[in-house]
Amino acid sequence: MISRYSKKLQDLEAKGRLRSLKPLGHDGPGIVNYHGRPLLNLSSNDYLGIGEDVLLRETFYQSQSSENADDFRLTAASSRLLAGDSQLAHDLEHDLASAYQSEAALLFNSGYHANIGILPALYGKGDLILSDKLNHASIHDALSLTRADHRRFHHCDYEQVRSLLIKYREQYDQVVIVTESVFSMDGDVADLQHLVELKEKFNAALYVDEAHGIGLYGQKGLGKVEEMGLLGHVDLLVGTFGKGLASIGAFVCCSSEIRNFLINHSRSFIFTTALPPVTLNWNRFVFLHMLGMEEERYHLQQISKQLRLQLQEKGIVTRGSTNIVPILIGEDSRALHQAEAMQQHGFLILPVRPPAVSEGSARFRLSLCANMQWQDLQALPELLAAMRGAKKSEK
């Protein structure tokens, strides 16, 4: 007898949606080894190439000495509220708050932990959360955990946000608008200035998830909030170390009052083992290093623009304006087969399918990183155009 789980797995496979783990080796900057073949990794979030920077990693480990061996311990072995706190955590939070011109900052173990821990802690019965429909899954999960009412507005539709605020603001004690700065699947950008104006006009709060903006935008790489000159105007700014900063962990910049409230009410903060000292040490090291990576940010913007231009010249429609370049395909099985074909041509491209994106919008999510050169990418437009042409000939 086939179990209900086997049947569901078979259904996923039939739809082209069955996922599996893929162990990868590393053959150099931006290159992975997959099934014995070196491939350019276009599915990574190591946007600045920090994770593949051997010299930077060696510099970090050379800073270890017998005098500061505790800073390189591999476990905290407790939550921060018990015995897992350290001065390293407080130093990192101080650096983050200072850089972001914020009263305070608080660390979380991941971006997922941050989003599911902050929103349910701060907003409950009598409050309203307005969330962009294309926000990350962790934000959608947070909405299901909170007792607050919530409404999802059409992607970047700020006239709808205004209408919702006009209709509902006076019915609720607190209202918060939640958005990503750079949207992870479409590579487009929120109009943060517009949202700041709306939140100030209607006495609401603004929550911005900068997961895909940190490291890449602004003079110091603090994200789209910095680039748009809005530091100090966002009530809750969430960032991660797991993408452009090549580590693990997350943080929120907020008021001191909110920080203290989260320490006492955020379940994903309270009930988890703290990040180990070696990770805190690395996070502080790479954050301070990232502040000066202007050349890498500029280079990444240039190759991203060049790829988009070449794709447009080949008649390939894409979205957004960032280093995340989506190529819409449509059918799940077609995306799967074309991804396998791209791997045969030397590119690690993994298909993005529902539920990560909406039905009928399976795609490639080309993720460009600063340790890539244009010559690494220049064959892509022609290959993608050839596949597009093959699709038309099948009809």
Q: Tell me: the pLDDT tens digits for 85-141?
A: 999 999 999 999 999 999 999 999 999 999 999 999 999 999 999 999 999 999 999
| pLDDT score of 391 | 56
Catalytic residue among 113, 150, 199, 212: 212
CB 313 within 8 A of CB 268: no
Catalytic residue among 15, 27, 33, 45: 45
User: Is 224 annotated in the active site?
Assistant: no
Structure tokens at 346: 């030397």
pTM: 0.94
- 3-class secondary-structure state, position 56: helix
User: Is 212 annotated in the active site?
Assistant: yes
User: How long is the chain?
Assistant: 395
User: Is 180 annotated in the active site?
Assistant: yes
The overall average pLDDT reported for the chain is 94
User: Is 299 annotated in the active site?
Assistant: no
Strand pairing of 236-240 and 205-209?
A: parallel
358, burial (CB in 10 Å: exposed 0-12, middle 13-18, buried 19+): exposed
CB 254 within 8 A of CB 263: no
- 3-class secondary-structure state, position 31: strand
Express each pLDDT in 25-81 by its tens digit.
887 888 999 888 999 999 999 999 999 999 999 999 988 776 778 888 999 999 999
Query: In which residue ranges of the chain is CATH 3.40.640.10 found?
Result: 72-290
**Other C-beta atoms lying within 10 Å of the C-beta of residue 91:** 13
Residue type, 103: E
- 3-class secondary-structure state, position 182: strand
C-alpha–C-alpha distance, residues 389 and 368, integer Å: 24
Q: Distance between the two ends of the chain, CA-based, in angstroms?
A: 40
**Per 3-state DSSP, what percentage of the chain is helix, strand, and coil (rounded to 5)?**
45, 20, 40
User: Is 26 annotated in the active site?
Assistant: no
- 3-class secondary-structure state, position 279: helix
* Ramachandran angles phi, psi of 296, nearest 5°: -65, -40
Is pLDDT above 70 for 155? yes
Express each pLDDT in 235-290 by its tens digit.
999 999 999 999 999 999 999 999 999 999 999 999 999 999 999 999 999 999 99
Catalytic residue among 41, 243, 266, 371: 243
Catalytic residue among 136, 150, 224, 299: 136
pLDDT category at 389 given cuts 50, 70, 90 is low
pLDDT category at 393 given cuts 50, 70, 90 is very low
Query: In which residue ranges of the chain is CATH 3.90.1150.10 found?
Result: 15-48+294-394
- In CATH, the number for domain 72-290 is 3.40.640.10
Q: Please give the average per-residue pLDDT across 345-364, as a whole number.
A: 89
Structure tokens at 201: 């006009």
Catalytic residue among 93, 209, 227, 376: 209
CA distances from 392 to 15, 296, 341, 388, 389 (A): 21, 38, 17, 7, 5
Catalytic residue among 115, 181, 184, 268: 184
User: Is 184 annotated in the active site?
Assistant: yes
Instruction: Determine whether domain 15-48+294-394 maps to CATH 3.40.50.620.
Output: no
* Ramachandran angles phi, psi of 326, nearest 5°: -80, 140
User: Is 197 annotated in the active site?
Assistant: no
